[in-house]
Amino acid sequence: MATAKKKIRIQYYRSKIATPVKHKLVIKGLGFTRLNQIVEREDTDSVRGMVKAVPHLVRIVGPEAR
């Protein structure tokens, strides 16, 4: 039986309009397409690093409820 990979839920809650291009690319890379959207990603170091790069735009809502 394979081990289940941990997930993290992230919410995009502040607009990226007046932010640097790098921040806009991070938001796009996380998979956000609209404001207040919640996405679920694997809880990896790379995803955590992306969230850490734009803490003023996204928030961690919580892990997958299982």
The pLDDT assigned to 65 comes to 45
Domains of the chain as residue ranges with CATH: 16-63 (3.30.1390)
How many CA atoms lie within 13 Å of 2's alpha carbon, on the beta-carbon side?
Answer: 3
66 has a pLDDT exceeding 60: no
**Residue 66 tokens, joined:** 């299982």
The pLDDT assigned to 30 comes to 97
Q: What is the pLDDT of residues 4-60, one digit of tens each?
A: 788 999 999 999 999 999 999 999 999 999 999 999 999 999 999 999 999 999 999
